[in-house]
Amino acid sequence: MLEELPLTQWKGPYDADTKARAVAALESGAVLFFPRLPFRLLNSETQFLTAGVADGKAKNISLDHTTGRMQASSLTGDKAQALAAMIERFGAGAASLVRDLLPYREVERARTSFRPVQVKGRSYSKISDDRLLHVDAFPSRPMRDGRRILRFFANVAPDSPRHWHVGEPFEDFARAFLPRLTPHPPGRSWLYDKLGVTRGRRSRYDETMLSLHDAAKRDDAFQQTSPQDAISFPPGSCWLVFTDVVLHAALGGEFALEQTFHLDVGQMADPAKAPIKVLERLRGESVA
Ligand SMILES: [Fe+2]
């Protein structure tokens, strides 16, 4: 469930044994844990360790590294620029680590986020409550033919650990939930695409993953009784995980940074471990 890697550098080269362990564990559904890899803030950046830097509407501040556009921050002017620079430095570091540690030749670096609001005590609808066990599925960003969601996190809180729960293997979860999913109405993915609700049209894979995400969060018995392990990520540590296959819940903590990556299933060392392949095996048909 947790594969600890003693890396201390954000850039490679890393030794062959470490790289082999990393990809095998990651693709098997483990969380890669880097206890000795702190993301260090500059002295001037510690001012951003307050919930006040968020605009209060979205849970995360996000940065699009291709445009430099930052969303959901309350800051303006020089302070906004300095916060964006901190988020970008983290995102670039995460990208170099992923590039040097893993065998994937084409990894898309998507949004980078800063999560400055304490997880505990927030109130959300069930579907948007990430304190409930779930696999990630993005309502507006279709993954079409099973494109993967890989996320790199850093706990930058000065003294509070980030608490997660990690659930049972994806295949066990999907086997239990698939028979009770209700099919999405025909035409809806087409309409959402036309209306610009989604960036591109959702595939059956996207619809299935969204349904699994929602069904897990709505099922109180599953949340309370399904097997789960608690993980505590201490301040100054990082972790990397395929969040589309690992059931996870973020229960507590503040001040985390996160970089999302996407890659095609064909890039994987073992594509059979992709959630789309698991769903196809269970359903006996294509879901792309
Ligand atoms: Fe998540």
Contacts 24+ apart (CB under 8 A), 86-90: 86/41, 86/42, 86/45, 86/48, 86/114, 87/61, 87/63, 87/112, 87/113, 87/114, 87/257, 88/63, 88/112, 90/39, 90/154, 90/257, 90/259
Q: Report CA(44)–ligand 1 centroid distance (Å).
A: 30
**208 inside domain:** yes
Write the pLDDT tens digit of every residue in 49-70.
999 999 988 889 999 999 999 9
| CATH code for the domain in which residue 8 is found | 2.60.120
Tokens of 115: 């999560």
Is 287 a domain residue? no
16 Cα: distance to centroid of ligand 1 (angstroms) = 30
220 Ramachandran zone, left/alpha/beta (phi>0; psi -120 to 50): alpha
Centre of ligand 1 to C-alpha 212, Å, is 13
| d(CA 136, ligand 1 centre) in Å | 5
CA 283 to ligand 1 center in whole angstroms: 24
CB 238 within 8 A of CB 34: yes
78 Cα–ligand 1 center, Å = 31
Q: What's the 133 CA to ligand 1 centre distance in angstroms?
A: 8
Please state, in angstroms and as integers, the Cα–Cα distance from residue 250 to each residue in 165, 192, 193, following that order: 7, 29, 30
Q: Measured in angstroms, how far is the CA atom of residue 63 from the centroid of ligand 1?
A: 18
Mapped onto helix, strand or coil, the DSSP state of residue 269 is coil
In angstroms, what is the span from residue 250 Cα to ligand 1's centroid? 8
Distance 137 CA to ligand 1 centre (A): 8
Give the Å distance between the CA of 249 and the centre of ligand 1.
Answer: 7
119 lies in some domain: yes
Distance between Cα 29 and ligand 1 center (Å): 14
Q: Where are the beta strands (DSSP E) in 65-209?
A: 69-71, 108-115, 148-155, 162-167
Is 288 a member of any domain? no
User: Tell me, what DSSP letter sits at residue 10?
Assistant: S
Q: What one-character DSSP code corresponds to residue 81?
A: H
Q: Provide the residue range defining the domain that includes 170.
A: 2-282
Total structural domains in the chain?
A: 1
- Distance CA(273)–CA(270), nearest Å, equals 6
Instruction: Kindly list the averaged pLDDT for each block of 10 residues, start to end, along the chain of length 288.
Output: 96 97 98 98 97 89 97 96 98 98 98 91 84 95 96 97 98 96 88 93 95 97 97 98 98 95 98 98 89
- Residue 170: inside a domain: yes
Residue 123: exposure state from Cβ atoms within 10 A (0-12, 13-18, ≥19)? exposed
- Residue 24 confidence (pLDDT): 98
For residue 221, give every residue at least 6 positions away whose Cβ sits within 8 Å of its Cβ, in sequence order, or none: none
Cα 95 to ligand 1 centroid, rounded to whole Å: 19
Distance CA 18, CA 8 (A): 12
43: number of Cβ within 10 Å? 6
The distance from CA 1 to its chain's CA centroid, rounded to whole angstroms, is 16
Q: How far is CA 71 from the centre of its chain?
A: 18
